[in-house]
Amino acid sequence: MRYWLALSLLGFSVVSLALSQTARTKFEDPDLAPEQRAADLVSRLTLEEKVSQMQNAAPAIPRLGIPAYDWWNEALHGVARSGIATVFPQAIGLAATWDTGLHLRIADVISTEARAKYNDAIAHGNHHRYYGLTFWSPNINIFRDPRWGRGQETYGEDPYLTSQFGIAFIKGMQGNDPRYFKTIATSKHYAVHSGPEVSRHRDNVDATPEDLKHTYLYAFHTTLTQGPADSVMCAYNSVNGSPACASDFLLQDTLRRDWKFSGYVVSDCDSVDDIYSGHHFAKSLAEASAAAVKAGTDLDCGKSYQALVQAVHQGLITEQEINRAVERLFIARIRLGMFDPPSRVPFSKIAMDEVASPAHLQLALEAAEKSMVLLKNDKGILPLERAPRRIAVLGPAGDDRDALLGNYNGTPSYTVTPLEGIRKEFGAHSEIRYAPGSAYAAMPKLIDSERVPADVLLQEAVGIAERSDLVILCIGLNSRLEGEEMPIDIPGFSHGDRTDIQLPAPQQKLLESVLDTGKPVIVVLINGSALALEAAKNRAAAILEAWYPGQEGGTAIARTLSGKNNPGGRLPVTFYKSVAQLPPFADYSMKNRTYRYFSGDPLYPFGFGLSYSTFTYSDQTVRGQTASARVTNASQREGDEVVQLYIKTDYAPNPVLKGFARVHLQPGESRSMSFTSDEMNNSAVISGGPLTSSK
């Protein structure tokens, strides 16, 4: 008995360790439905044991052979926080690929590496956080305002684009086995959540029915019905007067009743406590916990649900309502195969040699290359097929490894910075010199060289530029400036958000000083959100948006500059000229936000991106719910085109994206493209970019 119990706590099933003996309980029978098994198990638990399983760090229950399990795991763009993993471009960069097939392959790789790590952890008795199979990704909130520091985690500002990328991620993560999940994906943060970070624990958002339907709930509805994700995370903020994690409207009426969601709901970390201490919606933690469970929040990230035992004794909630939540949680673990013989679980043999394998790293390079968005190419300076003799690589992002990774990232086995990639690509024929030129912002210890006075840094960079034939200026942001609820309050930044979308002052001065040398300047942007760069748009020779491109980012940048990679990415967000074009950050009305509602002249519009190839469109037709067009590569260079369908609607003043596809065409090749939409009408236009473009 001791031997059996010890092994069961390592995560092996009761059935397999009983050497194929007949299952003693319904829970132990892998041939029964997960719902039956979960109900049987929950019936055997005490109230205290049930409550213990409703917290992310669920302890073992030795008497029933239930191992400990931590539900908290991250996989936004690679398995995070659990050692070496393949690190893909940040989510905003993946959205810039406009390639859902690629995203499906990436998510499949992430889930493969996740299974490998889980299998290895279980074999070594490791039940710690970040080694499980329930992942709190994707972030499908709408990037409604470029000041939000967590916008980098999203798929951009458009609900349709977001929903399609969310579905691809979920399918890749959860797999297609009819019985077992490969991993479980979690759509977050539900709902109406996108900053400001500093006040999210107490903010209430009043959203109109129209904004809820067409913007804030659209991708949740799609990913939870068409993915479908088996989990959803409720948000910190309140929506129309009720905390999201205790909202009957969100969790009961919409999620369970209207969308028929059957999975489980997890709280954002400590958001149950916010119901009491932040929103003052409840008079005690016990009351807050009861309200959350009654609304439908099954799992608490944190320890607030410890108060549920007291809540039951006080009559605030029934034990039957507790049972419902715990059953949902065990159904998920059963569908992950955690209690079944490994021989029955198709993912149980995935080994650690899959992690950061050559094939996975090649996919990271492909993703980085496809995420590149060419915003300007004056007089065809790019590609650099004949590299100049002397190249200056300048800017604080030029040799910064952290700037490649964004937030919620894994640990790569190696990284390639822009400087390293450029040296490898051009170093055989060009002399390449580097200087950071400035700090990222007016904040200490952002880069090692910041200890050098700013004027000395600037003079060094300008001197190198003056002695060079070409400048590649790598500037932007990093996840030490923009991110989740960060203790940063400096000019232009506040708690992970931005107060201004201009390039930070030290880099703006560097940009203008280098432009003043008269040398041709190629600006490479490393960032997770839109920047206002009118000086670069007006005076630089070229602008390449690289986002946070992952571990192979430097290689992808260099290969794009040389022409080995023909850029085909498109903007998933609008680039504005200044915050003066935007409503206040805390205003959640969609009026004048994003390309669908914006009435001004953007710096660069949503859907925009240039190529080294030229594409033409012809034979556009609309028949019923289908629009068709013929796209042709009219150049002598093969390349990718992102074909986009826009339709006028009755809820947005500007045409709305309702279809897209990334296609690869050889020189002279044509392809017929068709899109179907239940909102189709004669206004439909198929094009290679927004209906208003910015060159």
- Cβ proximity of 167 and 227 under 8 Å: yes
**Tell me, what DSSP letter sits at residue 305?**
G
Instruction: Give helix 159-174 / helix 100-123 axis angle, nearest 10°.
Output: 40
Alpha-carbon distance of 483 to 76, in angstroms, equals 13
Q: State how beta strands 470-476 and 521-526 pair.
A: parallel
The residue annotated as part of the active site, out of 298, 482, 497, 552, is 482
Active site residue 378: no
What stretches of 491-613 show up as alpha helix (H) in DSSP? 505-515, 534-539, 553-562, 594-597
- Cβ proximity of 444 and 363 under 8 Å: no
Residues in CB range of 105: below 8 A, 6 or more apart: 172, 363
Residues in CB range of 238: below 8 A, 6 or more apart: 203, 204, 205, 244, 247, 279, 281
Is-cis flag, bond preceding 383, omega within 30? yes
Three-class DSSP labels, 369-411: HHHCEEEEEHHHCCCCCCCCCEEEEECCCCCCCHHHCCCCCCE
CB atoms within 10 A of CB 175: 18
Alpha-carbon distance of 669 to 29, in angstroms, equals 57
Cross-strand pairs, 84: 411
Q: Which residues of 354-392 are buried (b: 16+ CB within 10 A; e: fewer)?
A: bbbbeebbebbbbbbbbbbbbbbbeeebbbbeebbebbb
C-alpha 544 chain-centroid distance: 21
Which run of H or of E encompasses 107?
helix 100-123
3-state DSSP assignment of residue 321: helix
**Tell me, what DSSP letter sits at residue 248?**
I
Check residue 295 and give left, alpha or beta (phi > 0: left; psi -120 to 50: alpha): alpha
The residue annotated as part of the active site, out of 113, 268, 274, 552, is 268
Alpha-carbon distance of 372 to 569, in angstroms, equals 5
**Tell me, what DSSP letter sits at residue 585?**
T
Check residue 542 and give left, alpha or beta (phi > 0: left; psi -120 to 50: alpha): beta
Cross-strand pairs, 492: none
Q: Measuring CA to CA, how many Å separate 232 from each of 133, 256, 336, 577, 596?
A: 15, 12, 17, 35, 27
Active site residue 466: no
Residues in CB range of 558: below 8 A, 6 or more apart: 418, 421, 422, 424, 425, 426
C-alpha 670 chain-centroid distance: 33
Residues in CB range of 578: below 8 A, 6 or more apart: 501, 502, 532
CB atoms within 10 A of CB 204: 15
Instruction: State which amino acid sits at residue 322.
Output: I
What are the two backbone dihedrals, phi and then psi, of residue 191, each rounded to the nearest 5 degrees? Answer: -155, 180
Instruction: State which amino acid sits at residue 408.
Output: Y
Nearest to 175 by CA among 56, 335, 328: 335
- Cβ proximity of 30 and 340 under 8 Å: yes
Active centre residues (catalytic): 268, 482
